[in-house]
Amino acid sequence: EDAAQLARFEARVADEERIEPNDFMPAAYRRTLTRQISQHAHSEIIGMQPEGNWITRAPSLRRKAALLAKVQDECGHGLYLYAAAETLGTSREELVEQLLSGKAKYSSIFNYPTLTWADMGAIGWLVDGAAIMNQIPLCRCSYGPYARAMIRVCKEESFHQRQGYEIMLTLARGTAEQKEMAQDALNRWWWPSLMMFGPPDAASSHSDSSMRWKIKRFSNDELRQKFVDATVPQAHFIGLTLPDPDLTFDEAAGHWRYGTIDWEEFKQVIAGNGPCNRDRMATRRKAHEDGAWVREAARAFAEKRAAAKTA
């Protein structure tokens, strides 16, 4: 890459111009976007499993229909994001292989078990709530295809968050046992939701370049704080208690101060030693093997059609 091209690229990003697939971009910009967008896609696809486990056990037809729609949406988000990642030059097969071989990451949050129906509420409310905080700024990402995919994703996420919060509200206002279920789910999903935003800024290896290239508009800690400030009052509104004895409101700063996050747990989970990592990957690998015949059929059909065209 020559200096003039790099300078022109930096100026375009500084001027808030969108970078498109055929534009010049530094190899490192292409690499970090391929990494982030494909891992985002992997997260959406793996994220179908924890919720998928409860579709057949939803307490009513209405709840089942909403959960089914949400899981189908997650799959669609994954496909938009693989399509966006492919515009950077790596094939979908290669991206999927990186997931199946364990080389690529997916969001830590999906390595926790969904033990009761209340977990469907906690996931919609907290996990999709956190995802919205993270994805709205990505609508203004400097890379065109990613930003456009995010605009479509964000429209559906608000429904996901609302249906989750409604489940929690219904349970919290139900019998004592239902309220206890909601409280238990909050206790188990709160801290892993805070970890979703990534390591503390001081330990974030990509933030400097991602912020300079306007991929990341806010730091991990800034978005985490926005999420806590928005979510604590929602928990109070439905009469649930946050599992953080150090949580206090800092009047002067206007922020909720929270306790220490267990980064050792986070490290273990992204190293593959979380509660469900092996199950999630085994299920994903089996789905890939079970779907091999569909890929072969599609390839044979495409070859036959191409041969007919040239005949």
Residues near ligand 3HC (CB under 6 A) are: 35-36, 39-40, 43-44, 47, 74, 77, 105, 107-108, 127-128, 131, 134, 157, 195-199, 204-207, 210, 216, 220, 270
Contact 39, 26 (CB under 8 A): no
Least distance between ligand 3HC and beta carbon 300 (Å): 34
C-beta closer to ligand 3HC: residue 179 or 281? 281
Least distance between ligand 3HC and beta carbon 90 (Å): 14
234-242 contact pairs (CB < 8 A, 24+): 234/125, 234/165, 235/186, 238/168, 238/169, 238/172, 238/173, 238/182, 239/172, 239/173, 239/179, 240/168, 240/172, 240/179, 240/182, 240/183, 240/186, 241/183, 241/186, 242/186, 242/190
Contact 201, 219 (CB under 8 A): yes
The per-residue b/e assignment along 190-218, b for 16 or more CB within 10 angstroms, e otherwise, is bbbbbbbbbbeeeebeebeebeebbbbbb
C-beta closer to ligand 3HC: residue 116 or 207? 207
C-beta closer to ligand 3HC: residue 38 or 183? 38
C-beta closer to ligand 3HC: residue 25 or 85? 85
Secondary structure letter of residue 107 according to DSSP: -
3-state secondary structure of 143: strand
Angle subtended at Cα 56 by Cα 108 and Cα 238, rounded to the nearest 5 degrees? 60
Least distance between ligand 3HC and beta carbon 74 (Å): 5
Angle at which helix 128-138 crosses helix 144-172, to 10 degrees, equals 160
Written as one letter, the residue type at 160 is H
Least distance between ligand 3HC and beta carbon 6 (Å): 21
Structure tokens at 53: 């486990």
C-beta closer to ligand 3HC: residue 9 or 106? 106
Question: Which one, of 86, 104, 97, lies nearest residue 39 by Cα?
Answer: 104
Tell me which H or E stretch contains 145.
Answer: helix 144-172
Least distance between ligand 3HC and beta carbon 311 (Å): 46
C-beta closer to ligand 3HC: residue 35 or 255? 35
Least distance between ligand 3HC and beta carbon 96 (Å): 16
Least distance between ligand 3HC and beta carbon 93 (Å): 20
C-beta closer to ligand 3HC: residue 135 or 179? 135
